[in-house]
Amino acid sequence: MIPGDGIGPELMLHVKSVFRYGVHGGGGDLSTLWREGQRASGGRAVGLGLWFWCLRSCQEGPSTGMWHQARQEHHGTGVPPRPLAQSQVREGSSRAASARGGPGGLPGGRPEPAALTQLCPRHACVPVDFEEVHVSSNADEEDIRNAIMAIRRNRVALKGNIETNHNLPPSHKSRNNILRTSLDLYANVIHCKSLPGVVTRHRDVDILIVRENTEGEYSSLEHESVAGVVESLKIITKAKSLRIAEYAFKLAQETGRKKVTAVHKANIMKLGDGLFLQCCKEVAAGYPHITFENMIVDNTTMQVGPRPAAPPALGARGFGARAPARPLLAPQLVSRPQQFDVMVMPNLYGNIVNNVCAGLVGGPGLVAGANYGHVYAVFETATRNTGKSIANKNIANPTATLLASCMMLDHLKLHSYATSIRKAVLASMDNENMHTPDIGGQGTTSEAIQDIIRHIRIINGRAVEA
């Protein structure tokens, strides 16, 4: 797990706690629990971001000492569990690593949500043990290299955002970017969906956004050709454009989606974005049962025409019917987000659209994201902001971090655990007293987590403690 900077470490602690105890009743048969985890994860290693937290091999069986230590920590009488030594990790073991960075020993970008999120896995009795790897935005690149090695060993990570140090020279690359490119995490996927109990202008929003994650404007290729003139290169390749388009259409097919919209600026960048658009059209031809549209990025995010006299007909899943054959100059994402189903786009546009969509459904504290490659997967909050201004104030919204951990558990085929935590998070959102300030409430992070834990216990048939 990589808590990153800001509120990450705090939220990750709560994730860890929730993973450790709860779903299968008080105590339970730990051997059975670990065998279930072994079957579900297939013995794969799991790397969990900026605290790298370890999923101990289910083949090693339950560690009584580890569970006793975890219970001590839960009751405030113990210390955090020790990470596995390198010699303890066998090939094929299930192990999740997380790197922790940030000021005061707090992990990276979103320490609070990261720390708090650990509580839910504990109460959900998820078969996960955690290893911590410290990552700091103020140190050299060696710590992020160690984090990358841990993810390569463990395959999966849960992370907070790592703050970029802007005082470093231009040759210094963003640590988040180094992580994504080194592991070839080419597909960034976020699910923007209206949540119960959160008041927003638009309802029934349900959009999957697929962002190319490894090239475009984030290629870190720029130079000053002469004094006062800077050239910054945007790299678009056919191979990576075809790859991300194929991913988007496969995702649409697997999730029962009806439409894919390619977002671009090919009217101006005729070669670069023109190539991306052409690749999307080429892939779309292989999926005739999925409607394909393309849309200019500024038309996607802004209202540049009059509102239609009547809203479009909605399908069974709440998405607008296929647009008529005319220029797409009507209100789009901000005014009529229900028309979108799956969206695919290059790197920079994805960053912008991700943030806009997160705002539509309530803000950055509510939306989870994932970064997928052929081998590795890293899960995080969708908007990649550190939340530094609210760190250590106990007001960070843990929803996005918890939903990201659910995505991770689904990826590991631990579906029952993911479902329990996800249901508890959504049930808690119905209680306005638990809403944190970012969504108009006065609740605290710890209160929200305790309410989620209460719902986990109810969902899994356990008595609720007074």
Q: Are residues 389 and 466 in the same domain?
A: yes
- pLDDT at position 135 is 78
For residues 20 and 164, membership in a common domain is answered with yes
**Segment 141-161, tens digit of pLDDT:** 778 888 999 999 889 998 988
pLDDT over 60 at 316, yes or no:
no
Predicted TM-score of the model (pTM): 0.76
Q: What's the whole-number average pLDDT of the chain?
A: 75
The parent domain of residue 107 ranges over 1-188+376-466
Residue 406 lies in a domain: yes
Distance CA 140, CA 330 (A): 48
Measured between alpha carbons, how far is 95 from 53 in angstroms, rounded to an integer?
8
State whether 138 and 4 are in the same domain: yes
Considering the domain boundaries, does residue 196 fall inside one?
no
Return all residues near 439 (Cβ < 8 A) that are at least 6 apart: 198, 362, 363, 365, 366, 397
370 domain residue, yes or no: no
- Check pLDDT > 70 for residue 422: yes
HSE value, Cβ hemisphere, 13 Å, CA-based, for 282: 14
Residues 182 and 225 in one domain: no
Final residue of a structural domain among 315, 336, 360? 360
Are 400 and 348 contained in the same domain? Answer: no
- Whether 366 is in a domain gets the answer no
389 shares a domain with 301: no
Indicate which CATH number applies to the domain containing 346. Answer: 3.40.718.10
Pair (138, 181) in one structural domain:
yes
Q: Are residues 15 and 40 in the same domain?
A: yes
**Structural domain includes residue 447:** yes
Closest CA to 342 of 267, 422, 277, 253: 253
Judgement on whether residues 161 and 254 belong to the same structural domain of the protein: no
Determine how many CB atoms are found less than 10 A away from the CB of residue 27. Answer: 10
**Longest CA span, the chain:** 71
Could you tell me if residue 193 is inside a domain?
no
CA 301 to chain centre: 22
Answer with the residue of higher pLDDT: 352 or 332.
352
343, 452: one domain: no
Tokens 């959009």, residue?
A: 207
Whether residues 27 and 169 fall in one domain: yes
Confidence of residue 22 (pLDDT cuts 50, 70, 90): very low
For the stretch 45-71, pLDDT in tens is 343 333 333 333 332 333 333 333 334
Instruction: Evaluate if residue 258 carries a pLDDT over 90.
Output: yes
The dihedral through the CA atoms of 106, 174, 240, 183 has a sign that is: negative
pLDDT of residue 447: 92
Indicate whether 424 belongs to any domain. Answer: yes
Q: Quick check: 448 pLDDT over 80? A: yes
Position 411 scores a pLDDT of: 94
The reply to whether 194 falls in a domain is no
Q: Which of 32, 3, 18, 130 is nearest to 423 (CA)?
A: 18
Look at residues 360, 389, 424 and tell me which one is the last residue of a structural domain.
360
pLDDT at 115: 59
Please give the tally of structural domains in the chain.
Answer: 2
Which CA distances in Å does 339 have to 66, 259, 327? Answer: 50, 9, 15
Same domain, 161 and 182: yes
